[in-house]
Amino acid sequence: MKRTIATVLFSLVFTLAVVAQAPLAVSVKIPEHTALPRSAQQLLAKKMQQLTTLNGVGSQSANARFSLTPLLSIVESGVTPTAPPRQLVRLSLVLIVADSAGSKSTLAQVELSAKGVGENEEAAVLNALQQVDIRSATLKRFMEQSKKKIAELPPVTVASPPAAADTL
C-alpha cells in the first residue's frame, strides 16, 4: 500500500514538473534591411525553419522568447573564366540564437561559408544557399549548444500592471 501511494505521488510530482517547464521554442527572424533578393530571403527563411524544426525547437510564433537570426553577407563575387561566363559568389552565413525577452543576449553563434555559381548574382546566391546542409555536424552542435544555454536560463517573470489609483 505504501509503495503504491509513493509511486502515485512520484508520478504526480514528475508530471507536474514536466508540465511546469516552459516549452522550448525558437522562432526564425530574418533581418528586414538586407541587400539580398526576395527569393534568397525566402530560401534562407525556409532553411532556418527546417533547421529549428529538425532539432525540435521550431516555432511559428512571432513573439517567441528565443530567436534564430541568420546574417548573410557576400564575401566575394566574381566571374568564372569559362565560356559562357558565370557568376561566382562566396557567402558568409552567421547564425545567432538570442534571448529576445529575458537577458536580451546572444546564447550561441556559428559561422558558415558557402559557394555558389549561377547565370547572375541572384542565381549564384540561391545556389550557395542550397549548398547549406542543415543536417551537418556543425549545425547539430550549434543547435545542441543553443538548447543547453536556453535550458540554463531562468524563466522570465511577467510583471503585473500597476494597480489603478483611486480617483476622487
pLDDT-derived band at 6, boundaries 50, 70, 90: low
pLDDT at position 158: 54
Q: Tell me how many domains the chain contains.
A: 1
17 in a structural domain: no
Tell whether 162 is covered by a domain.
no
Q: Which residues does 37 contact at the CB level (< 8 Å), separation at least 6? A: 122, 125
Domain membership flag for residue 126: yes
Confidence of residue 155 (pLDDT cuts 50, 70, 90): confident
Q: Is 48 domain-assigned?
A: yes
Question: For residue range 90-105, what is the model confidence (pLDDT) as tens digits?
Answer: 999 999 999 877 667 8
Q: How far apart are the C-alpha atoms of 112 and 131, rounded to whole Å?
A: 11
Structural domain containing residue 104: 23-152
- Domain assignment present for residue 6? The answer is no
Residue 130 within a domain:
yes
High-pLDDT (> 90) share of the chain, %: 48
The answer to whether position 16 is within a domain reads: no
Per-residue pLDDT band for 162 (boundaries 50, 70, 90) equals low
Judge whether residue 15 has pLDDT over 60: no
Interhelix angle 38-54/121-130, rounded to 10 degrees, is 0
- The CA-to-CA distance between both ends of the chain, in Å, stands at 63
pLDDT number for residue 45: 92
As a whole number, the mean pLDDT across the chain is 82
For the cut 80, the answer to whether the pLDDT of residue 143 exceeds it is: yes
Q: Where residue 27 sits, what CATH number does that domain have?
A: 3.30.160
Give CA angle at 118 (117, 124), nearest 5°: 65
User: pLDDT band at residue 124, thresholds of 50, 70 and 90?
Assistant: very high
Note whether residue 159 is domain-resident.
no
- Please state the rounded mean pLDDT for residues 38-44: 91
pLDDT single digits (tens) 67-91:
999 999 999 999 999 889 999 999 9
Which pLDDT band, with edges at 50, 70 and 90, does 18 fall under? very low
